[in-house]
Amino acid sequence: MFVVCALLAPLLPASIGYDPYAQVAPRSVSPPTPPSRDNWLGTDTLGRDLLSRLVFGARISLEVGVLATAIALLIGTALGAAAGYAGGRTDAFLMRATDLVLAFPAPLLALAIIAAVPEPETTPLLRSLPHPSVGVVFLVLGCLGWASIARLVRAEFLRLREQDFAQAAQAMGAHGARVVLRHLLPNALRPLIVVATLGIGGNILMEAWLSFLGVGARPPLPSWGTMITEGQEYFLAKPWVCLAPGLAILLVVLGFNLLGDAISDRLDTRRRQRVA
Amino acid sequence: MRTSEPRASLPGLARAALLLPVALAGMALLACTRGPSPERAEQVFRFRMHEDPPTLDPALSNDQFSEAVILNVHRGLVELDPETLEIRPAVADSWTISPDNRVYTFHLRDGVRFHNGRPVTSQDVAYSLRRLLKKETRSPRRFLLEPIEGAQEFTDGTSDAVRGLATPNDRTVVLRLAKPFAPFLSELTMANAAVLPREVYDDPQKAYLRAPVGCGPFRFGRWEQSNFIELLAFDGYYGGRPALDRAVIRMIENKTSALQEYIAGGLDSLDETPDENDTAMMAKVGQEVHKYPFMGTGYIGFNLSLPPFKGNAALRKAFNYAVDKKYLWEVLIPGGNIPANGIIPPGIPGHDKDLPGYPHDEAKARSLLAQAGYPAGKGLPPVALWVNTGEGNRQIASQIQADLKTIGVTIVIREVDWAAYIAAVSGTKDNAGQAQMFRFGWYLDYPDADAILRPLLHSSNWGPAGNFGRYKNPEFDALVDKALAVTDPKERAELYRRAETIAVMDDAVWIFLNYYQASTLYKPYVKGVVLSPLGEFRLPLERLRIERGTH
């Protein structure tokens, strides 16, 4: 449902008449205003429609979640495959690099790197993105998240490399790249899909956390994390301001985790046989 | 998150040794009388500060957090009574001013001691003033002493001594000014002019930055970065030992956490009060809210050395008209501030309530924006607005962002911690800094229009010294300078009004946001509170006492 919301979000202003950036609360009342017929979830601290912002926020969250995971997947698979297939020194070198990345507390490292890019709007590579401040976040999360994927792919490859079909392909004189791409990778896909689905949830959570701390999406972007920060001052008096984005994060992350579990169950042939 | 309660600074063993006789005596008494313990409960006052003070070196201090600590640890020749705003004797117990208003002779008080026990002499005063002037000190406030004859030559290194500074004996300091300067005595009350012991402040390792030594009512206890600073009563204070035994300054950045901490009893005072619409919270602490005017002005500074504001007054005026200050302070964040029409806050001679200022007017804003060369914002790249971290600032910045969006201007908000913010905003003398726009507030150090117009807008304080916007208008400078030599209060006020009109109506140097109104929470058991027009951080801790009633 959230995916649908995110995709349809640009149509929102036209359909329900609200723009997530417009201050719609009456100018005579201190925002945040409570839920009403016009604003189903009320308005935020600047009098903007909370529901519109929540829906637009879904775009930011999914953008970060999916793109960060895609980047991590790309790097992780490439390095993991290289390590697993080549073995020897290449393997040792790549795995020590992986250990190095895993040894750093990722949230802190992400904070440090993002803080080092104070002006994403003017940084060459990022400037061209639709939301430069969000761009930094998914790039950094992507670049930090590959290590566990690399390990997984390597382990899969080590196992697959020794199996008959791989040995046969090699014996028939197949080129290394062909063996990896045609024979090994498709067989390693299943665990990867599961990890990726779980990763999306994790990255959404991370984006919310960074934005909550004020280093993620910049105002006025309606990131869920930013929305929670803005609402926390009103937590006791007007709880809907931060409960709404909080619940959204909860549901989406839970959704992705359940999806990951479901895919994992589906793909796990051994367990299916047992059940049967 | 609750921070742990700081404990006494004595090491455990020493504390036990000290407490043992007390405990024994207590038990003995208890055995005799069986009544309540006659021991006096420790008097501790805990208040909140948003972040660590950027510096504890009086010469370098240029912000209210630093001053909050320094003014309780240090004393200068004279001090400003935070309640009556009168200049009072401090290290000097009397002074005379020559008929030509140029020579100030200070007679030092007997029995003033530094926290290390050494008596204060006129040599210490001379040392401290020279230290502030010295080029190597790099003080942003050296201008305070500039009126002294020969100050500039001393700073430039062309003279080894400050000509106008003499110490005829151990108890006398004579300061001779190059020309009469009305607010000179007021300037000497500032934290920067504190009297310092040479043996501590000549340390090349700069240990004094973490363990300052002065002659004020409190000696420095401990500083746990980002957690708390502890001040301890100084038994040898010339004004008598303070009633408080300890003052604990706790760094809590987040307003909600600070409020919860105040309600939970971990703070005795808080410089922020709940949102007035928050009825549940107001029911709990509404009785403890103290509101009082205080001398300060809030604004959004334009960097006049950077595009797009450089040489474009129409653009600056357009921004001013676009921002709805009335909505900002009366609806969005009610209760704390008064919408501003200019620079000099109410109550200060020179404040002009009839100055038109820039009331919200979208149509005018649009036409000025077009006149500035950016019709409907076309051709204007996103402009960066810098603020230091905090929900309050974020809300203000977001509202300004939204207001400017309505006329087609895109604002990008840069939210960074105080130290990074100050660095970006101040830049250096030759480098204009990074901040195109910045939110700033200024609390007057003494009740005189000079204390806001000069530090923030006079060209002699260009750049890091306080004129962060890099404003330079010879006509404005001349009026502000002229006012200093004038003794007639009416004429002075008129000169300041004219200077203000130039900076506001002609040059639109800032977005003129608000005049401050302080709103502070104090627990009912805190007595001796001073609601100072200088702001809640100018609380004289030595006047406080805690009366919780007997247990």
**Distance from C-alpha of B494 to C-alpha of B480, rounded to nearest angstrom:** 11
pLDDT at A60: 85
**Which residues in chain B have their CB less than 8 angstroms from residue A45's CB?**
395, 398
Interface residues of chain B, partner chain A, Cβ below 8 Å? 254-256, 275-281, 327, 331-332, 334, 382, 384, 389, 391, 394-395, 397-399, 401-402, 405, 412-416
B355 has pLDDT over 90: yes
User: Could you tell me the pLDDT band of residue B348, with boundaries at 50, 70 and 90?
Assistant: confident
Flag the least confident range among A227-241, B88-102, B206-220, B395-409: A227-241
**Which residues in chain A have their CB less than 8 angstroms from residue B254's CB?**
232
Q: Which of B160, B184, B201 is the last residue of a domain?
A: B201
- CA-nearest residue of chain A to B273? A233
pLDDT average, residue stretch B104-130? 96
**Which residues in chain A have their CB less than 8 angstroms from residue B329's CB?**
none
User: How many residue pairs bridge chain A and chain B with CB atoms within 8 Å of each other?
Assistant: 69
pLDDT average, residue stretch B195-212? 95
User: Could you tell me the pLDDT band of residue B319, with boundaries at 50, 70 and 90?
Assistant: very high
Q: How far is A84 from chain B (nearest CA, A)?
A: 43
pLDDT at B505: 95
- CA-nearest residue of chain A to B257? A233
> CB of A274 within 8 Å of any CB in chain B?
no
Interface test with A, best of B279, B391, B413 (most A CBs within 10 A): B391
| CATH architecture assigned to A58-267 | Orthogonal Bundle (1.10)
A139 and A64 Cβ atoms separated by less than 8 Å? no
The enclosing domain of B355 has a CATH number of 3.10.105.10
Cis before B359 (ω within 30): no
Residues of the domain holding B137? 10-34+67-201
Interface test with A, best of B398, B400, B416 (most A CBs within 10 A): B398
pLDDT digits (tens, 9 = 90+) for B27-56: 444 444 444 444 678 999 999 999 999 999
**At B35, which helix (H) or strand (E)?**
none
Beta strands B383-388 and B411-416, pairing class: parallel
Note whether residue B405 is domain-resident: yes
**Which residues in chain A have their CB less than 8 angstroms from residue B256's CB?**
232-233, 235
B321 and B368 Cβ atoms separated by less than 8 Å? yes
Beta strands across the sheet bearing B92-97 = B92-97, B103-108, B172-176, B165-169
User: Could you tell me the pLDDT band of residue B274, with boundaries at 50, 70 and 90?
Assistant: confident
pTM above 0.80, yes or no: no
B262 and B524 Cβ atoms separated by less than 8 Å? no
**Distance from C-alpha of B348 to C-alpha of B446, rounded to nearest angstrom:** 10
B192 & B322 share domain: no
B326 & B197 share domain: no
Contact B416 A229 (CB under 8 A): no
B381 & B486 share domain: yes
Contact B416 A118 (CB under 8 A): yes
Of A46, A118, A236, the CB nearest to B402: A46
User: Could you tell me the pLDDT band of residue B526, with boundaries at 50, 70 and 90?
Assistant: very high
Contact B402 A21 (CB under 8 A): yes
Note whether residue B46 is domain-resident: no
> CB of A219 within 8 Å of any CB in chain B?
yes
Helices (H), A120-184: 124-127, 132-161, 164-171, 176-178
Contact A234 B275 (CB under 8 A): yes
A259 and B438 Cβ atoms separated by less than 8 Å? no
**Distance from C-alpha of A216 to C-alpha of A227, rounded to nearest angstrom:** 12
B347 & B482 share domain: yes
Note whether residue B214 is domain-resident: no
Contact A121 B412 (CB under 8 A): yes
pLDDT average, residue stretch B395-404? 93
pLDDT at B363: 95
- CA-nearest residue of chain A to B388? A214
Contact A237 B332 (CB under 8 A): no
Average pLDDT, chain B: 88
Query: Which residues 26-55 of A are in CB contact (within 8 Å) with B?
Result: 27-31, 45-47
Of B276, B277, B413, the CB nearest to A218: B413
pLDDT digits (tens, 9 = 90+) for B186-201: 899 999 999 999 999 9
pLDDT at A3: 62
Q: How far is B293 from chain A (nearest CA, A)?
A: 23
For residue B140, the one-letter residue type is: P
Parse chain A into domains and list their residue ranges: 58-267
**Distance from C-alpha of B17 to C-alpha of B24, rounded to nearest angstrom:** 11
B302 & B426 share domain: yes
CA angle B294, B295, B301 (to 5 degrees): 125
- Comparing CA positions, the residue from B401, B397, B395 lying closest to residue B387 is B397
**Which residues in chain A have their CB less than 8 angstroms from residue B327's CB?**
27
pLDDT at B369: 95
Calculate the CA A164 to chain-centre distance.
Answer: 37
Structure token pair of residue B158: 């062309």
pLDDT at A261: 83
Residues contacting B436, CB < 8 A, separation 6+: B302, B303, B306, B307, B308, B309, B383, B384, B385, B386
Provide the 10 A C-beta neighbour count for residue B233. 19
The enclosing domain of B82 has a CATH number of 3.90.76.10
Q: How far is A200 from chain B (nearest CA, A)?
A: 27
Q: How far is B433 from chain A (nearest CA, A)?
A: 14
Interface test with A, best of B329, B412, B437 (most A CBs within 10 A): B412
What DSSP assignment string belongs to B369-401? Answer: HHHTT-GGGTT---EEEEEESSHHHHHHHHHHH
Give the residue with greater pLDDT, B544 vs B1.
B544
Helices (H), B309-461: 313-322, 325-327, 362-371, 391-405, 418-426, 450-457
Of A21, A119, A232, the CB nearest to B405: A21
Note whether residue B372 is domain-resident: yes
**Which residues in chain B have their CB less than 8 angstroms from residue A230's CB?**
391, 394-395
B143 & B17 share domain: yes
**Distance from C-alpha of A35 to C-alpha of A83, rounded to nearest angstrom:** 55
What share of chain B in percent tops pLDDT 90?
68
Total count of domains within chain B: 2
Structure token pair of residue B109: 């008080």
- Comparing CA positions, the residue from B358, B365, B357, B361 lying closest to residue B315 is B365
**Which residues in chain A have their CB less than 8 angstroms from residue B326's CB?**
none
B289 and B272 Cβ atoms separated by less than 8 Å? no
pLDDT at B359: 95
**Which residues in chain A have their CB less than 8 angstroms from residue B416's CB?**
118
pLDDT at B13: 38
pLDDT average, residue stretch B305-331? 93
Q: How far is B303 from chain A (nearest CA, A)?
A: 18
B478 has pLDDT over 80: yes
User: Could you tell me the pLDDT band of residue B8, with boundaries at 50, 70 and 90?
Assistant: very low
What's chain A's Rg over C-alpha atoms?
22
Contact B394 A46 (CB under 8 A): no
pLDDT at B20: 44
Handedness of CA A118, A121, A123, A129 (dihedral sign): positive
- Residues of chain A under the 50 pLDDT cut: 14, 275-276
pLDDT digits (tens, 9 = 90+) for B482-517: 998 887 778 889 999 999 999 999 999 999 999 988
Interface test with A, best of B255, B331, B396, B416 (most A CBs within 10 A): B331
- CA-nearest residue of chain A to B393? A230
pLDDT average, residue stretch B320-346? 90
Contact B256 A233 (CB under 8 A): yes
Contact B414 A118 (CB under 8 A): yes
Of B277, B382, B405, the CB nearest to A30: B277
What share of chain B in percent tops pLDDT 70?
93
Q: Which of B201, B231, B253 is the last residue of a domain?
A: B201
What's B83's DSSP letter? T
> CB of A235 within 8 Å of any CB in chain B?
yes
Of A21, A30, A233, the CB nearest to B391: A233
Of A28, A45, A238, the CB nearest to B395: A45
pLDDT at A5: 55
**Which residues in chain A have their CB less than 8 angstroms from residue B278's CB?**
234, 236-238
Contact B332 A31 (CB under 8 A): yes
What is the rounded (10 degree) CA torsion for B232, B233, B236, B242? 160
